[in-house]
Amino acid sequence: MKIRVSIVFSVLTLLSQPSFATVYNLPAKARDSVVAEYPNEIAVTRADQNETLLDVARRFSLGQVEIIRLNQELDRWLIKKDSIITLPNKRILPDSPHDGITLNIAEYRMYYYAGNGKVYSFAHGVGRQDWKTPLGKTSVQKKVKDPVWRPPESIRREHAANGDPLPEVVPAGIHNPLGAYALYLNLPGDYRIHGTDIDKIYGIGMQITHGCVRMYPEDIDMLYHLVDEGTAVYIVKQPIKVGWLDNVLYVESHPDLEGEETTLEQRLASALALIQKANNYELPEFDQTALKDALEKQTGNPTAIYERIISPEEAAAEEAAALAAAEIPPVAPPVKAIAPPIKPLASVVKKPNAPIPKLTSKNKLATTKKPAISTKVKAIKAAKPIVKPIEKPVPKPLSAGYHRP
């Protein structure tokens, strides 16, 4: 089956011109959790000169891993003029309260729920394998403009061993790894959401920090002015997400973080559990081929796998039940002083391409059984692409994002 797509061309003429946070409208139905920037399945842009995928990611405020996974057939280091690059459009919101900030470190992306029916989404970097970003619920303890970095002794020793000695105090400025703004989290160890310096601008959306959450300069500028001290922060790790939009069920799969490798069978088990949870703990007859493809390729792009037909009474009951969101319990993080490192992490590790196992119990997927695919999902998969030029608006920044003397 072919997925129906309406392709959106979104071309910016200035390569150095940055985009900013994507702002989504929350779904009208409380039980829905899929948001979209455009009313189509896929958004694309066309390279107007030879460039790299990192250039495209920077222009659209996307993370490096994110843009690479969406364009696995392209050479990240050589995107030729007139090449078509896929951009994200739909996203499944993380399974967390729609309150304050949610950081899903598995997708290198955060979501800020503004309380006015809008959700802002930003790319960010996370902690390395040996300096993991802690999970759990916390809050913004304080906001600091032009933060000064005092690297802990452990980080100074690491840099000295690499021939890159650090001073005891790094003043505010364009070479300060904290950037121009920092949100300090209410956690032991000086964990922060902060900007970046000009030397590490292409490391956003990777697993490269000493535990902090690093953002593009213009993005931390925007977030800093949007949130208040005391804002709730939920840090989760959800590589597989499942959500509804207009009675169509979508699945979204992201690759494992460095040092964590799951098999296709494990990802299948996780996905089946989430599908059951989303469907009142009953496993529907969904598109098995689409699920397998999403779990194998792990592009991070939401994939439609099932449509349900429900009565008005059922819809009203589910609407009421979805309003009660489950709280994420606070988790005590390790006590460790943190700040961004100098060297970026290696790129994405390929996962094994094993076949989905045959499961035969009542609530498991049997790959030999042909699922019943609804007319709506068939239409999404079967229609020819429609090319439609749309220019992505570029808002005026609050400031340059870097420290200006």
Copy the structure tokens of residue 19.
């985009």
Q: Is the pLDDT of residue 312 over 80?
A: yes
Distance between CA 94 and CA 108 in Å, rounded? Answer: 12
Q: What is the pLDDT of residues 2-59, one digit of tens each?
A: 333 333 443 333 323 445 678 999 998 888 999 998 876 778 899 989 999 988 988 8
Distance between CA 241 and CA 250 in Å, rounded? Answer: 8
pLDDT class of 369 with cuts at 50, 70, 90: very low
Mean pLDDT of 87-105: 94
Distance between CA 100 and CA 227 in Å, rounded? Answer: 8
Q: 């994405």: which residue's tokens?
A: 348
pLDDT class of 331 with cuts at 50, 70, 90: very low
Comparison of pLDDT for 354 and 237, the residue scoring more: 237
288's enclosing H/E stretch is helix 288-297
Could you tell me whether strands 303-307 and 248-253 are parallel, antiparallel, or unpaired per DSSP bridges?
antiparallel
Comparison of pLDDT for 116 and 396, the residue scoring more: 116
What kind of fold does domain 112-237 have according to CATH? Answer: L,D-transpeptidase catalytic domain-like (2.40.440)
Q: Is the pLDDT of residue 296 over 60?
A: yes
Chain mean pLDDT for the chain: 74
Instruction: Output the pLDDT for position 30.
Output: 84
Q: Picking from 85-94, 185-194, 220-229, 303-312, which range would have the lowest pLDDT averaged per residue?
A: 185-194
Copy the structure tokens of residue 267.
């990802």
Instruction: Output the pLDDT for position 324.
Output: 56
Q: Picking from 30-34, 130-134, 202-206, which range would have the lowest pLDDT averaged per residue?
A: 130-134
Cβ–Cβ < 8 Å for 300, 107: yes
**Domain ranges in the chain?**
112-237, 240-329+356-381
Copy the structure tokens of residue 168.
């005891």
Copy the structure tokens of residue 312.
């008005």
Mean pLDDT of 237-249: 95
State whether the Cα torsion 128-129-132-133 is positive or negative.
positive
Which class for 282: exposed (0-12), middle (13-18), buried (19 or more C-beta within 10 A)?
Answer: exposed
State whether the Cα torsion 205-208-212-217 is positive or negative.
negative
Mean pLDDT of 65-89: 92
Mean pLDDT of 179-197: 85
